[in-house]
Structure 1
């Protein structure tokens, strides 16, 4: 059931009066929402001064569409900031049908969001998360657009990609093909994407379909698309634009049609502006861009998610209560690996807990308890140079890596993050690039290359043995 209300005086606003009557005739009740999450319409007549307050109050419980009468001089951008989903003008009674069509779409989207098919995989009820799910569901069910999923590691990009594929409206939809762009070997990249014919290269004992062929009439999901080499960015763009490709060693063009999903934790717009990612491919991928919120922006989901993951870690056993100290820890603890970090914490707790009693502070492993990292700074340059406490910094480094792995930060991310962090520290703690290069144990040229955005030392990359060991 949807609702509508009129803000302001109806006198002289014939369009508002006509639309209000039309909405009433179509079964909408006049007044405020009667249940949480119920969508509705705010008709703004005359002076819109109260409209912002009305929209703000109504939007806290559900989606609100604002319709402006001819005499309403409201700022639509301000109304959107107050929580409105959209702001449209009114001109005649026929607009009631347009408003109703929008409400019906929202109702259909909300029904899917609240369905078991979605709730069982996209867990959470935080307002930010629900807003993201509505956007994802609407794009997935009612369009076939490409979609770019952005967000920090562990925020659920693969889960959302699978959901988009499952909700795809295309008839005879085929499979979802996942390709992790960080694992693509340059020498075999053509085969990964295009497939190959028998005898195309040494070891090609038979024909093999690539990602473009396997995803035909299905979905191609490129994880960490920001890591895609420049030559493959160009090849991907051609296939997306033309819908044809040629397998390695083949002579016949093949047709393919797929929905393209991509995910990244990089700022691809900034990467394209810097020339490190093709601008034309970026705009192809970003037809719809959805940012998945980190767990710190949906704190109300932390405890319910922990309960879910804990139950998964203890299949067939009774759900456990949580000691208040544990609840407090869960709500205050940082989650650098986001939902993946929280799920791994639940697994560790599940392995330590015994019996059916509440989860208590002792079930939290020492590495996860509060205060662990307090005061555990890195060793000073003087201490390392002077040889004091040789084991201390090794232990701290090992501990930092252990905590990163437990937080869901994998070796591929560590491999890229550690040099970046070390470079930033050296630049901050020395009086210039030359000194920073000496601290890092690399050449000045290599440091300049790193700070300019390069990923490997040019001196080393130019040596033949570097290529053979890559």
Structure 2
């Protein structure tokens, strides 16, 4: 954990006590002189200032690092909002807080637990991506899934991975005797059999019911019920579902005995459910039951950094154990510049088409691109600054960032990515950035001193 002070002399004793108590509790503290700013950061300040905003914005790395801001004096709501928008993860007040150390420790332990889960084999091998948009969603989802039993509503375009996310919620659920995940696609339920799908039925309840059958509510008892495309449910089924969620009881079709059930509910839709509520197509009371936590999955065009890692993941999954295919640089450029209306599912299909045309054990080259896709690429070749870059600029302008701030952030981001991809080798990073080693060192030093 690293600590920075922006306080007057008379406040330094109280701040030093916080650091000393944290050290006694087993927290390893790195001072400003160490130059370490990775991991959880603690900023203690007494006055809101541009210097404070610059520090928080620079060290949070677009929310990649967790940063706790502690103020020694009163902080206005507007200033608190500015701190959060700049990258602070949370804000605590030092005044009149006898439990400040416990509050700090509680947050540190929670954040470390979430970060450990993010690095777990299950997530690393199933939910691919390192882009800020994806990591931000995943971090929130992990916390809600593991530390609460709240219902989760997953919204996103087709092909963004909603069922995979639902399985993650079930996997991270901490119930000791958790049972199975039951998946029910609401878009495939016929009106005639809808009651049986949810409630089950008794023998002879209707023509063809030759034996009793459990429905989704019974099968999901003590487990997780995943309702895919929940926005397709007709209103009469919405009413019945709401009652089961509230009362945790139901009757089978043709039965007279009340059955009990207890399950975690996860729902997914590619529609905007709140818009459906406003149109009268979805019950408002059911929406608020389902939407304890809303997970909005980003489309693939907002996750440009994840396109190649996802493509390589699909290649590994489809390759033989003794040889994993690689992508030629020109093919990587093709994948980066292509559009994906079907999102991740669309990308997987493109990779499979490349593999279908590939022969031998060499690299996948431009000749593997199907002819009909080549024409699209030739005529719609996107320049590098389209898409995600322009989206980031628009967001910055919306939040009041000026040209100077935008330029600085673009430069810092380019340097950080180049150094990360060069695994810390400044010479390689400088070559890629088109500057000298000395220039890169000076830019990084100036940033640390700023």
Instruction: Report the TM-score when normalising by structure 2.
Output: 0.79
Would the aligned equivalents of 2:19 and 2:29 in 1 still touch at CA under 8 Å? Answer: no
Aligned residue among 54, 74, 81 for 1:77: 81
Deviates more, 1:243-252 or 1:22-31: 22-31
Task: Report what 2:196 is aligned to.
Answer: 191
Deviates more, 1:317-326 or 1:211-220: 317-326
Given the alignment of the two structures, is residue 328 of structure 1 paired with residue 333 of structure 2, yes or no? yes
Distance 1:370 1:134 in 2: 39
Matches within 5 A, 1:6-405: 6-12=5-11, 15-26=14-25, 27-31=27-31, 38-60=39-61, 61-71=64-74, 75-91=79-95, 92=97, 94-371=99-376
Segments of 5+ residues of structure 2 without an aligned counterpart are 381-450
Would the aligned equivalents of 2:3 and 2:29 in 1 still touch at CA under 8 Å? Answer: yes
CA deviation after TM superposition for structure 1 residue 37, in Å: 5.5
CA deviation after TM superposition for structure 1 residue 58, in Å: 1.5
Report SS of the residue matched to 2:292: coil
Would the aligned equivalents of 1:147 and 1:285 in 2 still touch at CA under 8 Å? Answer: yes
CA deviation after TM superposition for structure 1 residue 237, in Å: 0.4
Distance 2:222 2:172 in 1: 14
Would the aligned equivalents of 1:43 and 1:66 in 2 still touch at CA under 8 Å? Answer: yes
Deviates more, 1:165-174 or 1:15-24: 15-24
Q: Any idea what the Cα deviations from partners look like across 1:354-412, whole Å, max 9, x if unmatched?
A: 1222211110112322526959xxxxxxxxxxxxxxxxxxxxxxxxxxxxxxxxxxxxx
Structure 1 residues 126 and 42 mapped into 2: Cα distance closer, same or farther (>3 Å)? same
Distance 1:282 1:69 in 2: 41
Distance 2:228 2:92 in 1: 37
CA deviation after TM superposition for structure 1 residue 100, in Å: 1.4
Distance 1:58 1:333 in 2: 33
Structure 1 residues 172 and 37 mapped into 2: Cα distance closer, same or farther (>3 Å)? farther
Would the aligned equivalents of 1:313 and 1:346 in 2 still touch at CA under 8 Å? Answer: no
Q: Any idea what the Cα deviations from partners look like across 1:305-328, whole Å, max 9, x if unmatched?
A: 101101222232422332222111
Deviates more, 1:295-304 or 1:47-56: 47-56
Structure 1 residues 350 and 98 mapped into 2: Cα distance closer, same or farther (>3 Å)? same
CA deviation after TM superposition for structure 1 residue 349, in Å: 1.1
Distance 1:12 1:309 in 2: 55
Distance 1:125 1:34 in 2: 25
Task: Report what 2:417 is aligned to.
Answer: none
Would the aligned equivalents of 1:128 and 1:293 in 2 still touch at CA under 8 Å? Answer: yes
Distance 1:192 1:35 in 2: 56
Report SS of the residue matched to 1:75: helix
Q: Any idea what the Cα deviations from partners look like across 1:191-237, whole Å, max 9, x if unmatched?
A: 00000001100000000000011000000001111111100000100
Would the aligned equivalents of 1:149 and 1:262 in 2 still touch at CA under 8 Å? Answer: yes
Task: Report what 2:3 is aligned to.
Answer: 4
Distance 1:34 1:115 in 2: 28
Segments of 5+ residues of structure 1 without an aligned counterpart are 376-470
Task: Report what 1:419 is aligned to.
Answer: none
Report SS of the residue matched to 2:183: strand
Distance 1:305 1:165 in 2: 23
CA deviation after TM superposition for structure 1 residue 50, in Å: 1.7
CA deviation after TM superposition for structure 1 residue 163, in Å: 0.9
Would the aligned equivalents of 1:9 and 1:47 in 2 still touch at CA under 8 Å? Answer: no
Paired residues, number: 374
Structure 1 residues 71 and 193 mapped into 2: Cα distance closer, same or farther (>3 Å)? closer
CA RMSD of aligned residues (A): 2.0
Report SS of the residue matched to 1:257: coil
Structure 1 residues 352 and 35 mapped into 2: Cα distance closer, same or farther (>3 Å)? farther
Report SS of the residue matched to 1:58: helix
Would the aligned equivalents of 1:149 and 1:290 in 2 still touch at CA under 8 Å? Answer: yes
